[in-house]
Structure 1
């Protein structure tokens, strides 16, 4: 059938809104499918926590409650695995990487650090850094190589009083101010870039204070830091800490 040019143009112009709507519906459908897929969480640790405090390790203490959370799938990884537990295939199968490190920062291979940093910047991976993971290579790289160290610290097992500074933030959902019976102390100044949000602030009996729940957006990625998590005390079993970690996972995955 022959169609002259003028008729063809008129037909095409009438079809453009329909095409645009169809594309929008397909995009919405793909977005909905992405949102309905479980959040794939990889819990990475050095594997050095005392079994008397964490019988199944730091990663096990976190994996238990997270694995029972709806819409979350959990995998565990450690520094002693091949490629430090951070192979390209493992990272590509991860939406949020929870990082716990303290003593072995320098042992993480630089190419694996770059693999994490690139994925975070691209928005393919959220990063949740716990406790002394502020000194880890990936965290410091994403913080523009700032020291990321507290002004001082003390390990004496005294109570930590945690205040919710930003109750409207998704990481604080369902959380009020609470006390951790035994903890160690970090104090300001905490040498990190200005955070996007200060969600939590911690205080101790001697008057020390530190911003203990912070967030940043770096390029397309989300990063959260939670100061808590010493391997010397069973802090990660505290119900409020477990809720905050779960909330932070959803926030880092852009699901809040």
Structure 2
């Protein structure tokens, strides 16, 4: 999987292959939002509809937003070229069928994201969705390159990409944080770079349905417009730091639990010309997406991404 990422890295970073297209300038002022959902049967424990449909119902109340709610079981996994071309933003709920999405489709999403043709909102367990993980890999590599030009301006360098030892596992607290890089210079002039790709997970989680508290860290950010500086989510799953991801470009809010755990639950990355927003709160059997503040944050995110 990451050999594909290497070629994307070469094409988009080393050769600055981002296109000049800008979907926001050539489309209407209305926002096209594709809501992608595994639509697990367990969701019916908390909702009359599937999570994606609940979010679509809320966004449809705004006349400036057009939605299409799709499922992994739809034709082309709900991610046909026509749908991707239509979309300004993808909202993604994935949980247990991450690997069902073909690598070729993930490439198409990532290329559009890098080119600024698409933005991406990852919900909760989508931290292990293929598009999210590949975007984190891309961000890792580009950030290491940008922060260490003296290593990459040398013609005699090699890069080794080191994946997590086990695919999709929760790291232990004692594990060294990923992503990270080892940069080595040899007397011959040769340079070697070992890039440890992000695990995209965290050392603890607890699906016990206890409440959490969202704390705004940037009250003036458009994502938090009309949202209280602090609010409660009455039933959710707990994730605990450290989150093994590249440092976000912004953290809009964090989430805290009475037992002391906390998480960077509203994180933003610039991925090439596109933007990725990770929204942590959620669980397939808790009614997190009936919370009006949660829905307002998702709606605000769509407008902020489209206007940025």
Bin for the TM-score computed over the shorter chain? 0.7 to 0.9
Give the equivalent residue in structure 2 for 1:25.
none
Q: Give the RMSD, CA atoms, in angstroms.
A: 1.7
Give the equivalent residue in structure 1 for 2:75.
82
Q: 1:119 aligns with which of 112, 119, 122?
A: 112
1:225 counterpart SS class: strand
Q: 2:123 aligns with which of 122, 127, 130?
A: 130
User: Is contact 2:23-2:118 (8 Å) kept?
Assistant: no
Q: Deviations over 1:171-207 (max 9, x none)?
A: 1111121001111100000111111111111111110
Q: 1:91 aligns with which of 71, 84, 96?
A: 84
- Residue 155 (str. 1) matches residue 147 (str. 2): no
- Unaligned 5+ segments in structure 2 are 1-21, 138-196
Structure 1's 32 and 187: CA in aligned 2 closer, same or farther, altered over 3 A?
A: closer
Return the alpha-carbon distance in structure 1 between the equivalents of residues 25 and 248 of structure 2: 31
Give the equivalent residue in structure 2 for 1:8.
none
Return the alpha-carbon distance in structure 2 between the equivalents of residues 118 and 86 of structure 1: 14
Greater CA radius of gyration, 1 or 2?
1
Q: Deviations over 1:38-85 (max 9, x none)?
A: 100000011104213122101111001101113100001111111111
Structure 1's 33 and 111: CA in aligned 2 closer, same or farther, altered over 3 A?
A: closer
User: Is contact 1:140-1:148 (8 Å) kept?
Assistant: yes
Q: 1:39 aligns with which of 31, 40, 52?
A: 31
**Match runs of 1:167-186 below 5 Å:** 167-176=219-228, 177-186=230-239
Structure 1's 205 and 244: CA in aligned 2 closer, same or farther, altered over 3 A?
A: same
TM-score (norm 2): 0.71
**Match runs of 1:49-64 below 5 Å:** 49-64=42-57
- Residue 209 (str. 1) matches residue 262 (str. 2): yes
Pick the structure with more helix per residue: 1
Give the equivalent residue in structure 2 for 1:17.
none
- Residue 197 (str. 1) matches residue 243 (str. 2): no
User: Is contact 1:128-1:252 (8 Å) kept?
Assistant: no
- CA positional deviation for 1:32: 9.1
Q: 1:166 aligns with which of 218, 223, 227?
A: 218
- CA positional deviation for 1:151: 2.2
Structure 1's 250 and 92: CA in aligned 2 closer, same or farther, altered over 3 A?
A: same
TM-score (norm 1): 0.84
2:247 counterpart SS class: coil
* Equivalences, count: 226
Return the alpha-carbon distance in structure 2 between the equivalents of residues 97 and 35 of structure 1: 16
Structure 1's 99 and 240: CA in aligned 2 closer, same or farther, altered over 3 A?
A: same
- Unaligned 5+ segments in structure 1 are 1-29
Give the equivalent residue in structure 1 for 2:292.
239
- CA positional deviation for 1:33: 6.9
